[in-house]
Amino acid sequence: MGSCSNCLINSSVDSKIQFDKKGVCNYCLSYYKAHNHSQQLIAKNHFQDQIQSIKRSNNSSYDCILGVSGGTDSSYVAYLLKKEGLNVLMVHCDNGWDTEIAVSNLKKIKEITGFDLLIRKMDTAAFYAVQRSFLKARVVDIELLSDHVNIASIYEVANQKKIPWIVTGENINTEFFMPQHWVHNKNDWQQICAINNRFEKADTSSFPKLGPYKKYVIDQQLRINYFKPLNYIDYNKDDATKVLKKEFDWQDHGGKHFESNFTVFFQCYILPEFFKVDKRIAHLSNLICSGILSRKKAQQLLSEPTLPQNKLKYLKKYILSKLELTENEFIDIMAKPISSHSNYRSHFVYNKYLQKVIQAFK
């Protein structure tokens, strides 16, 4: 089995992994290339260039939209934007799985920054039904629905309020690594419909939606600009956490994307137990490359349980209760063979056609 000499990725994680002469994998090499570009942006002070561009746009009552979860990255971006004097509309999609800490963090950020916070509340009965569909479909990216409605909510608000700047907490220092076969295209509303119609047939008419054509139209009409501030500064998550605790009395969730109870259950139990996928390998490898963790420390953390057994037991009971599944029903579903996303209708083929059309008119 080939293993990277630098991070935790190996051929059991990605059978197509490649190594250079020093045994460093293609994931690390891609990260270092992106990191070097980020360092160039920092050296040229492009952070301030982007901030000034946002201020000059002056197309709305708000300077920009910021998607927030109550997690470290988006919370720290809110802190940065407040320091720069921007008028920000924060958007959060409440799908019924927010932790108490996430709710508390969002409230504190809103109060201290003075930013408006728009919360898009989902029809939780329908949302849970579609999530049951994804469990039954046995595809790996069960979080596709949550990720999709988060992105779609931001785009719909941007379109309604004519705000051309979308700011996110995405960054290369903590979330650059991810094997592509562990995830699916987040704009694939057609696949969400296909899986829902195959199993639960829940009413999704109230859900925010964003297929490739709708995204393209909004991008073109509003001339949407994306800004990822954390790639324009020397971002260290540990340092950011200290700032947030001091400035916002903010609380740490204790894990990547742990603002959602379902995500904790998905990443810490469903994926490793039933798909043999441990996302900590990618997350920790990212922190190795960004210099936040040593490889030895990352290996130590990876050897520890994903969650304490008592917490996992409680979380399992809580999640299955809200999904209206008995433990036996859940076990029966998870015992079925794993399925590929390609087995369900998708925007993927349509998206390739759309790209050809766009290129033809350029």
Summarised one tens digit per residue, pLDDT across range 203-238 is 999 999 998 888 889 989 889 999 999 999 999 988
Q: Are strands 88-94 and 64-67 parallel, antiparallel or unpaired?
A: parallel
- How far apart (Å, rounded) are the C-alpha atoms in residues 206 and 356? 31
Residue 4 lies in a domain: no
DSSP class of 19: B
Residue 259 lies in a domain: yes
- How far apart (Å, rounded) are the C-alpha atoms in residues 79 and 112? 9
The 10s digit of each residue's pLDDT in 329-356 is 999 999 999 999 999 999 866 555 556 5
Residue 21 lies in a domain: no
Count of domains in the chain? 1
> Token pair for residue 126?
């329908």
Could you tell me where the DSSP H helices lie in 162-210? 172-175, 189-199
Residue 9 lies in a domain: no
The 10s digit of each residue's pLDDT in 287-331 is 999 999 999 999 999 999 999 999 999 999 999 999 999 999 999
Q: How many CB atoms lie within 10 A of CB 336?
A: 12
Task: Give, in order, the Cα–Cα distances in Å from 78 to each of 36, 71, 168, 234, 275.
Answer: 25, 11, 9, 16, 35
pTM of the model: 0.92
Backbone angles phi, psi at 160, to 5 degrees: -65, -40
DSSP class of 207: S
Banded model confidence at residue 1, pLDDT cuts 50, 70, 90: low
- Average pLDDT in the chain: 93
Residue 108 lies in a domain: yes
Task: Give, in order, the Cα–Cα distances in Å from 87 to each of 64, 70, 161, 163, 190.
Answer: 7, 19, 14, 12, 35
Residue 26 lies in a domain: no
Residues linked to residue 66 through DSSP beta bridges, in sequence order: 90, 167
The 10s digit of each residue's pLDDT in 243-295 is 999 999 999 877 677 899 999 999 999 999 999 999 999 999 999 999 999 99
The widest CA-to-CA distance across the chain, in whole angstroms, is: 58
Backbone angles phi, psi at 260, to 5 degrees: -115, 130
Could you tell me if 89 and 62 are in contact, meaning their C-beta atoms sit under 8 angstroms apart? yes
Coil/strand/helix, residue 89: strand
Question: Residue 339: which domain range?
Answer: 42-360
Banded model confidence at residue 360, pLDDT cuts 50, 70, 90: low
**Cβ-based neighbours of 68, under 8 Å, separated by 6 or more:** 74, 75, 78, 90, 91, 92, 106, 109, 117
CATH of the domain at 266: 3.40.50.620
Listed residue (66, 202, 184) closest to 133, CA to CA: 202
- How far apart (Å, rounded) are the C-alpha atoms in residues 77 and 67? 10
Could you tell me if 9 and 27 are in contact, meaning their C-beta atoms sit under 8 angstroms apart? yes
- How far apart (Å, rounded) are the C-alpha atoms in residues 318 and 322? 6
Listed residue (46, 48, 27) closest to 37, CA to CA: 46
The position carrying tokens 């990277």 is 4
- How far apart (Å, rounded) are the C-alpha atoms in residues 170 and 78? 13
**Cβ-based neighbours of 36, under 8 Å, separated by 6 or more:** none
Task: Give, in order, the Cα–Cα distances in Å from 104 to each of 73, 179, 327.
Answer: 16, 32, 31
Residue 66 lies in a domain: yes
DSSP class of 342: G
The pLDDT of residue 211 is 86
The pLDDT of residue 350 is 59
- How far apart (Å, rounded) are the C-alpha atoms in residues 251 and 71? 9
Could you tell me if 81 and 64 are in contact, meaning their C-beta atoms sit under 8 angstroms apart? yes
The 10s digit of each residue's pLDDT in 4-39 is 999 999 999 999 999 999 999 999 999 999 999 999
- How far apart (Å, rounded) are the C-alpha atoms in residues 304 and 163? 44
Residue 350 lies in a domain: yes
Listed residue (178, 238, 44) closest to 186, CA to CA: 178
